[in-house]
Every structure is written in C-alpha cells, then in structure tokens.
Structure 1
Amino acid sequence: MSATMPLRLARAAVFAVVCAGLSALAHVFGGGSVPVPGLIGGFGLAFAAALPLSGRERSFGVILGLLAGLQAGLHLLFSLAHTMSAAEPFGHVHSGLVPGLGMLVLHGWAVGLIAMWLARGEAALWGLLRRLVVRLCLILAVHPDPAWTYRVRPWRAEPAITRSAPLRHALSRRGPPEVVSAA
C-alpha cells in the first residue's frame, strides 16, 4: 500500500515536528541552546529527510537509522546556529561542535524515544488504514445484477463465530460425579 501526497506530507511533517522538537529539547537539557532560526532549519532538515521515505510503512530499524543521522545533523546545525548568535558573549556551553557526554546521552535518548514513538505510530497508522480499506470494501462491494443494476452487499454487524478444535490433552470433568458402589 502506497501513500498519497497529502498523507506523505502529513507524515513527514509529524516526523519533523517530533524529531526537531525532541532534539532541541535534548540539546537544551544537555547544556546548549537553540535559537529560533536553528529550530526552523532543523524542522526543514528533518522534513526534507523524511519526505522521500514517507511513501510506505517503515520498520523500527529504518526509523532508528534515519533518526541517528538526523540527530547528528541537528546537533551540528544547533551548534552552528548558536555560535553564530551574538546574544551570548561566552560562546557555546560545550566545546565547539564536539558534544560532551551529557549531550551525547541526551541525543541518544532522543533517538531512542523518537524511534520508538514513530515506529509504534507507523504500525498503528498502517494497521488502521488496512482495516479501513477492508471495511470499505465490505461495505461498498457491488455485484452486477442480470438487469444491470447494482446492489450493495449487506454488511454483517458481527463477524462469524469461529469454532476452535478440541484439545487432545484436555479432560472434560463436567457433570455429576460417578456413582461408586461398594460391593
């Protein structure tokens, strides 16, 4: 199943908002700062990276790999945006573009959290779309009539009851106890 362009744009926008937002949050908690132009640039970078991959369902591994690369790119972007800013005369909190241990831990946390959220969201979204397609096909299925008229097949409100096979090792002990005669 392939996604249409509005769905692809919406998925890429959600990915970019979550990725850039949590990356900026992790960057700030790690001791850096994120100016508004850097945040906008980070959103654009994440959106541009996600749009080509938003056509179909992606696995956790693909999402994790994309996010790891984007976190490195976003860290560099946020660091460069911060050093270009003249608002703070003392420069960046950590040394240049090389992140400190706290910054690496928080970016790693952001990668894991975002990948987990987005992978679960991917599975939920595509599962919902598959179920909707099946339901719509059941509801809107039309069959030609000999008189060239179309009828909608009636939709069952409840699924058919499935009967399970009895287990070979199961013992049924229902009923009254057996009568034991003492003779």
Structure 2
Amino acid sequence: MPLTSPLRLARAAAFTAVCLGLGVLAHLFSGGEVTPGALALGLPAVFAAALPLSGGERTLRAILPLLAALQAALHVLFALSSPSTVDVATGHLLAGHAHAGPGLGMLIAHGWAVVLTSLWLARGEAALWALLRRLAVRLARIAADPAPPVFAPLASPHPDEPLVPRSVAPRHSVTRRGPPRLLRPSV
C-alpha cells in the first residue's frame, strides 16, 4: 500500500491527533506551556513517525514503544520551547515549567497515560481491521455472484379459477361500528 493511500494517511493522522493531543493536554495539566512553534515542530514529526507504521495492523507491541518514545520527545520539545530560563551550568530549568525534570510523579503519569492510550489505540486498530476483513469477505461474495436474485411473483395454485373480488374492509372487522348514519327524510 503506497504511503499516500487515504487509509494510511487517515490512520497516521488519527495516531498523530491522539499522541499530540495527549502530550499537549498532559503538559498543560502539569502547569507547562505549549508554544505554537513547538506544535508546528511536533505535528509533522509525530505524523512522519506514524506514517511508515500505518501500512498494516499495528498491535500493542508496535503502538506502545512508538507512543512512549514520541511522548518523551514531545515532553522534551515542549519543555525546551516554553519561555523559561535554563541554568547553563546545571542544565536545569529555573523558572516556568516546573516538571521538566524526570520526577517520579511525572514518570508515573506519563507511563499510565502511554499504557492506557496504547491499549485504546490497539483496540481501535483491532476493530478497524476486523471491520475491513468483514468488508472484504462481503465484497468477495458480491463479486462472485454479481447478479441480484430475481423474485418472481408466486403462481396461483389454481390458475383456471377466477379471482374472487374482496371487499376493502377485512373480514374480521365490524363495519357497523361508529355513530349512526343520519336518516334522510324521504321526499
């Protein structure tokens, strides 16, 4: 399947949206800032990393390491692009984003987010490919027998008997119900 097929592009775009959205929300939730420049760098980078893997069904074994690596790269990108000062001697951020260093809480939060999101994406992949397999089977059946079935009207068991006209009202209904008819005076 070529890299520009609509299905591959859509799958890579969905992965990019989930990965970048998770990174941005987690970064903002932890008190960091995300600059438009960081988004402009992160979006094509994540898309470029996801596109080669969008050719076939991805399992949790493929999604989890890719998402973890991209989340770490996005975290570093967002931390370095936030408006803060860096102490050149120690390499630590002095102001702005307080969670730029790999603290235990940050690692646990990223780990849980990556695992849960990977499980969610793997289930979505499995559902998509199950749907595509069912669709392929259905299309193969249609291609094998392209003529739709022709339904002929049922033949009468006694073709020589005349059809008996039936009244419009069903046999089981009572047609005398309702208000009485007005009597017309005879002239």
TM superposition score normalised by structure 1: 0.68
Per-residue displacement from partner, 1:55-89 (whole Å, max 9, x unpaired)? 0001101100111111110111111111479xxxx
Residues of 1 paired with 2:112 and 2:5: CA distance? 31
What is the aligned-residue RMSD (CA, Å)?
2.3
Deviates more, 1:71-80 or 1:107-116: 107-116
Q: Max radius of gyration: which structure?
A: 2
Q: Give the deviation of 1:153 after TM superposition.
A: 7.1
Q: Which 5+ residue runs of structure 1 have no aligned equivalent?
A: 143-150, 155-183
- Give yes or no for the alignment of 1:92 onto 2:96: yes
In the superposition, relative to structure 1, how do residues 99 and 32 fare at CA in structure 2: closer, same or farther (>3 Å)? farther
Per-residue displacement from partner, 1:151-180 (whole Å, max 9, x unpaired)? 5375xxxxxxxxxxxxxxxxxxxxxxxxxx
Q: Count residues with an aligned counterpart.
A: 140
Equivalent in the alignment of 2:55:
55
Equivalent in the alignment of 1:72:
72
Q: Kindly, what percent of the aligned residue pairs are identical?
A: 57
Q: 2:144 aligns with which of 137, 141, 146?
A: 141
Residues of 2 paired with 1:48 and 1:84: CA distance? 28
Residues of 1 paired with 2:113 and 2:45: CA distance? 16
TM superposition score normalised by structure 2: 0.67
1:39 aligns to what SS in structure 2? helix
Residues of 1 paired with 2:143 and 2:41: CA distance? 45
Q: 1:117 aligns with which of 116, 120, 123?
A: 120
Per-residue displacement from partner, 1:30-61 (whole Å, max 9, x unpaired)? 23221222123222221111001100001101
In the superposition, relative to structure 1, how do residues 73 and 43 fare at CA in structure 2: closer, same or farther (>3 Å)? same
Q: Which 5+ residue runs of structure 2 have no aligned equivalent?
A: 86-93, 150-187
